[in-house]
Amino acid sequence: MFSLPDLVRALHDGTLTPSAHVEDVLERLSGDTTNSVVTLDAEGARRRAAELTEASRRGDRAGRLHGVAVGIKDLVDVAGLPTRCGSRILADAPPAAADAPIVARLRAAGAVIVGKLHTHEFAYGPTGDAAATGPAHNPHDLARITGGSSSGSAAALAAGHLALTVGTDTGASVRTPAALCGVVGLKPCRGALPGDGVFALAESFDTVGLLAPDVASVGLAWDALTGAGGGRDDVRGLRVGVAEDDYWRPHDPVLAAAVTAAADALDRAGAEVVAVRTPGIEELAATYPTICGAEAYATHREWFESRRDEYQPATRDRLDAQTGTPAHAYVAAQRARRRLGDDLLAHLGARVDMLLSATTRLRATPIGAEEVPLPDGTTAHVRTSMLALTSPFNLTDRPAVSVPAALPSDGLPAGMQVAAVGTDVSPVLRAAAVIEGVA
């Protein structure tokens, strides 16, 4: 995989030209075996790379991402390319008339947009195996899921095609594919990266996020796009909570061991690591499917009533389940979310600055599997296992990052999540940098 700081350095010092970099990326994407690529804008990317190469010769730089090739989840508008959202419903979508603001911001920073990447249909799923173009495949095992819904954004990184991609996260959709593919995924607070020009799944939670091979790469991109930067680069004095409630316990012992190792690494680095409880977490999490489902159904109602057979079966089933949800259930869930979320943040805020957990309860499962067996003879529901540990931080609108542990011996990545109690991204990135690659 590319490291973004190394790539930016090579583009800056002339070791690599934007044109050579973009040509290499286009070749890699053209030969992709993970089904990550939806549309390539080879002509536009080469044209922009040539302009940036000429600027480099003059000693000019467009921005901190000068010449860096970036892939965009096919939920986000890119001028001149259709936004199909992984669905037959939008098979005939016209090219977008304008860039979404996040794409415009990337271009202003000097990035070269090379194309659109796979998404779970309409972002309505954490697995990445339901789309009009077929499932995305995990580069570590092509028979397994990438996670979703930013499936192509994670797989294209893990396959070594790109150093930066854009995804969206409504309940899991940046962090879960990052965890399953062994890359880093950052979900900031809503609106920290502009969300206009992105097809809505659930407007209460939809958040634009970033994926990259490592924490340093995500940090560089975050700074380039938001103007953040500076401050401390260590974790001394940070209070890190490890939740001891059963809710946070993963099904996979590899994930539990990774969290323990991460907590030990943070302790050695000077953080204050403490066990904490998360009162009301199950009740809070239970509001998510009601709110997300109702908002998704409101978006799709007219299409669903007239074109239901064009949806993927998994999407159709989830929308079907929402047809009888009364308005009062949605309102009650929203009220409970605010009350329980505020109570949880107040409880945690008096004790810790962030929470450490596994990102998912399972690692990558076989494509198409709805349930998988566990060592104790029971089974685990895949979709719930990929969503349960991430959605609380959409419900509370707090920054969270998934960071990979050292690759386990079986070759399936294990992701750990660090989520802030406050709204600042910097502390979670500092903690993530300490635990990145911990065995």
The residues annotated with a catalytic role in the active site are 73, 149, 173
Helix (H), strand (E), coil (C) string for the chain: CCCHHHHHHHHHHCCCCHHHHHHHHHHHHHCCCCCCEEEECHHHHHHHHHHHHHHHHCCCCCCCCCCCEEEEECCECCECCECCCCCHHHCCCCEECCCCHHHHHHHHCCCEEEEEECCCHHHCCCCCCCCCCCCCCECCECCECCCCCCHHHHHHHHCCCCCCEEEEECCCCCHHHHHHHCCEEEECCCCCCCCCCECCCCCCCCEEEEEECCHHHHHHHHHHHHCCCCCCCCCCCCEEEEECCHHHCCCCHHHHHHHHHHHHHHHHCCCEEEEECCCCHHHHHHHHHHHHHHHHHHHHHHHHHHHHHHCCHHHHHHHHCCCCCCHHHHHHHHHHHHHHHHHHHHHHHCCCCEEEEECCCCCCCECCCCEEECCCCCEEEHHHHHHCCCCHHHHCCCCEEEEECCCCCCCCCCEEEEEECCCCCHHHHHHHHHHCCCC
Q: How far is CA 89 from CA 86, 312, 415, in A?
A: 9, 10, 33
- CA 336 – CA 334 distance, rounded (Å): 5
